[in-house]
Every structure is written in structure tokens, then in C-alpha cells.
Amino acid sequence: MIERFEMIDRKVLRESSILTYCEDTLKAPDGKVVVYDNMLHKGAAAVVPVLEDGRILMVKQFRHSIDRVTLEIPAGKRDDENEDFALAAARELEEETGYHSDNMEHLITIITAIAYCNEKIEVYLAKDLKRTHQTLDDDEFIDVYAFTTDELKEKILKGEIQDSKTIAAIMSYISTLK
């Protein structure tokens, strides 16, 4: 039987605007003391924005951590840990794509790196999109494109899309179409 580990101590090593880096000391079920690296995250929201013709809006942006441009669904962190996920999703949709939706529904919840980080992303489906304007942050440079579900599925299967939230969200949305 799998049992919970008991937290003995947490040492905060560094705090940033996105993550809190911790060294957690735990007592395992067999009594051994183990040390784990752990990152705490405020949570994030993402959106699968579907145009009237069925195509999905995607954002292209440079990601420093992997040193390349990626194709993803719009997403971003919550402003604080009390911000409603749906409000964060609506904000990110409009900021990154220049579209607004009053028709958003929860699609899926994912935890991005379960072994060492508690980041939870709530993914929403957005329909009935209305054009507004992009309001990017100072450090964001984002282009917006529209793709069919078949095009996106092919990009996922060819490894052209490797972002876990995007893959989970797109495949989840495709499964609702059947």
C-alpha cells in the first residue's frame, strides 16, 4: 500500500515572480529521511480558442528554456494564487491573440511536471470569439496563426508541437468532437 510521506522541513532556496524553489525534507513510509527538490507555482490558465470555421488560434513565440520558437495554445500564469483560473484564461486569450470570448468552458486540468513542480494549468475551451486587439507584455513577442484540428494533430504526431499543455489540450478538444 502506498502511503503519504511526512513533511519534516521546507527550506526556501529562492523566490521569483513565477516559482518558489524549495528543498523539502520528508520522512518516507519506511522511516527513512529523504530530500526532494520542489518548485511551487501559483498556477496557470490556458485556452483552446476555436474560430467560427472550426480552426484553432495558436501562438508562436520564442522560448528561452529550449532556445527555439514554439507553437502553443495561449496561456499564462495567474497574477496571484487567488486569481480565478477562468479570469486568467480570458485575460491571456485577449492579451496574446487579440480575441475575447464570453463562451468559455473548462476542458481539462493538467499538472506539468508532477515529479518536481506543483504547477497546475486549467485549460478552457473558448468559442464565439470576438476580435479586439493584442496587448502583449513588454517581454512578449507573439504571432497568431489559425490551424485546423487535422493540421494540429499532424504537427503533434510529427513532433513539431512538443509543449505538453498544448498537446493535452488539443487532443482533449479533438476527443470532444466525436
Residue 65, all three cell numbers: 528554456
Classify residue 43 as left (phi > 0), alpha (psi -120 to 50) or beta.
left
pLDDT of residue 32: 96
pTM over 0.85: yes
List, for residues 8-47, the tens digit of each pLDDT value.
999 999 999 889 999 999 999 999 999 999 999 999 999 9
List, for residues 79-135, the tens digit of each pLDDT value.
888 999 999 999 999 999 999 999 999 999 999 999 999 999 999 999 999 999 888
Residue 88, all three cell numbers: 486568467
Q: Check: CB of residue 31 under 8 Å from CB of residue 44.
A: no
Alpha carbons 63 and 120: distance in angstroms, whole number: 19
Structural domains of the chain ordered from first start? 6-41 (no CATH), 44-110+119-176 (3.90.79.10)
